A = this chain, B = another copy of it.
Amino acid sequence: MARGIKDKVAVIGMGCTKFGEWWDKSPSDLMVEAAYEAYESAGIDPKQIDACWLGTLSSGNAGVFLSGALKLDYVPVSRIENFCASGSEAFRNACYAVASGACDVAMAIGVEKLKDSGYSGLTNTGSGDTDGTEPNISAPGSFALLAPAYFHKYGVDPETGKEVLSRIAMKNHANGAKNPRAQYRKAVTMEACKTSPLVASPLGVMDCSGVSDGSAAAIIVRAEDAHKYTDKPMYVKALSIASGPGDGQFDPEFDFTTITENVRAAKMAYEEAGITHPREQISMAEVHDCFTPTELVIYEDLGFSPRGQAWKDVMEGFFDLDGKLPVNPDGGLKSFGHPIGASGLRMLFEMWLQLRGEAGPRQIKNPKIGLTHNLGGRPWKCVAFVGVVGSELG
C-alpha cells in the first residue's frame, strides 16, 4: 500500500476574512465570518459538519473555543498548534480523519488575533524549549541571517542582494494590490523597499510580513463525495510536515542558505503526490514569505530553482504573476498579512480560487497543480509544511 492520502479527499468550500487590523472583532467574530463563507461556498448547513480541526497559536484553547463561537453543539473539535504552521496542520489532520472514514464532512479553520495581543514580532518567542539552549533572538533577527549567507555563498554583491529581496517584496505587494482581502493592498517601488527603515540588517520594514488579525476555513469530504457538493472540487495530492530536531544551531555545517525542514517536507510531499520535476509540474505556489530572504531560500529548498539560481529567477520575473511559476499570487504573508493560525488556510484559499478560475485580476492561466508551504519556528529549528492540491483526479 503506497503511503499517503493522494486523491482520497477534496475541498468543497472555503472562506477567508479580509486580513488586517480588526480592533472591533473578537477571534470568534472572525471564525464565524470565515466558517459561514465556507459553509455557503460548499452549499452545506452547519449541522452537516461532523468534526472540526482548529489551528491557532495563541488566540484560544481547546475545542470549546471553536464549538462555542460557532454554536456547533457537541461536535468534535481538536485544537492543533504547530507555531506558524498551525492552520496547515488543522487542514492536514482534518484530511486524515476524513480519509480514515472517521467523519464524512470536516471543517479545518485557523484564526489569530494578534493586533491587540501585544505581539510585535520583535520579541523572542522561542521555539518551545525550556532547557535554556535556544538563542535569544527575534524572528526578523533569525531570518535576516539567511540573506548575507546566501549572497556570500553565491557571489551576490550586497547591493544586488538588496535588490533581489526588494523584488520579492515588490512582487508580493503587486499581487496583493489586486486582492481585496489583503491587509496591505498597495504596490510598492524598488526605492521604497531599498530604503525602508532597518529592522534587522539587511532587512527593512519592507522585507517583513505584517502583524495581522484574520481567519480562514476549509470544508473537506472524501474525494468520491465531492461532486455531490461542487462541480469544481480541489483534490488533495499530498500533505507533509517535517519537524526539526534543532541540531542546526549547534551544527558547524549549517550555513543558513537552506532550511532543512523545507527540503524534507518537500521530499515527502513530492513522493506522495508523484511530483518529480516541481519547477515544471507545479502551476503556482503560496509559500511562507515571513521575510523576503525566507522566500528566496524556499525557492531552492522546494526545487523551484536550482541551488544558487533563485536570485536570478527572481530578477527575471520567473515567480511573478505572469511568470512561469507564480508564487504568492494573493500577496503572501508580506501583503495579505500573517494572522498566524489562519495563514496556512489562507494559502489554500488562494489555491481554491485559482484552481476554480475565480481569482479575478490575479487569475493564473489554467493552473492544474498548486503547492502551499507554511513554516513555523526558526531557520535552524522549525516545522515546515508542504501541501499539494490539484483541480483533477489522477
Interface residues of A (CB under 8 A from B): 1-5, 8, 26-28, 50-52, 59-68, 71-83, 89, 92-93, 95-104, 127-131, 239-247, 260-261, 264-265, 268, 376-377, 381-383
CB <8 Å contact, A129 and B63: no
A76 partner residues in chain B, CB cutoff 8 A:
240-243, 268
Q: Which of B71, B130, B245 contacts A27 (CB 8 A)?
A: B130
CB <8 Å contact, A80 and B83: no
Smallest CB–CB gap between A67 and chain B, Å?
Answer: 4
Could you write out 20 A-B pairs with CB less than 8 Å apart?
A2-B101, A26-B131, A28-B131, A59-B130, A62-B83, A62-B127, A62-B243, A63-B243, A64-B127, A64-B128, A64-B129, A72-B243, A74-B244, A76-B243, A76-B268, A78-B89, A78-B92, A80-B81, A99-B99, A99-B100
Q: Which of B74, B103, B245 contacts A243 (CB 8 A)?
A: B74
A97 partner residues in chain B, CB cutoff 8 A:
93, 96, 100
Contacts A3-B101, A26-B130, A61-B83 aside, 18 further interface pairs with beta carbons under 8 A come to A1-B101, A3-B102, A3-B103, A51-B241, A60-B128, A60-B129, A61-B127, A61-B128, A64-B245, A68-B381, A74-B260, A74-B261, A78-B82, A80-B80, A93-B93, A93-B96, A99-B100, A102-B239
Known: A73-B245, A80-B78, A243-B74. A62 touches B102 (CB 8 A): no
A26 to B65, CA, bound (A): 29
Number of this chain's copies in the assembly equals 2
CB <8 Å contact, A382 and B64: yes
A265 partner residues in chain B, CB cutoff 8 A:
74
Known: A64-B382, A96-B100. A79 touches B78 (CB 8 A): no
CB <8 Å contact, B74 and A61: no
Chain A at the B interface: SS class: mixed
Smallest CB–CB gap between A143 and chain B, Å?
Answer: 16
CB <8 Å contact, A241 and B77: yes
Known: A4-B102, A50-B3, A93-B96. A68 touches B129 (CB 8 A): yes
Q: Which of B4, B59, B78 contacts A93 (CB 8 A)?
A: B78
A59 partner residues in chain B, CB cutoff 8 A:
130
Q: Top 6 A-B pairs ranked by shortest CB distance?
A: A63-B243, A61-B128, A99-B100, A76-B241, A67-B243, A74-B264
- Chain B residue with minimal CB distance to A377? B64
A32 to B261, CA, bound (A): 22
A376 to B63, CA, bound (A): 10
A227 to B129, CA, bound (A): 37
A50 partner residues in chain B, CB cutoff 8 A:
3
A155 to B265, CA, bound (A): 61
- Chain B residue with minimal CB distance to A77? B243
A97 to B8, CA, bound (A): 13
Q: Which of B51, B99, B131, B383 contacts A101 (CB 8 A)?
A: B99
- Chain B residue with minimal CB distance to A93? B93
A241 partner residues in chain B, CB cutoff 8 A:
51, 63, 76-78
A63 partner residues in chain B, CB cutoff 8 A:
82, 241, 243, 383
A78 partner residues in chain B, CB cutoff 8 A:
80, 82, 89, 92-93, 241
A5 to B51, CA, bound (A): 14
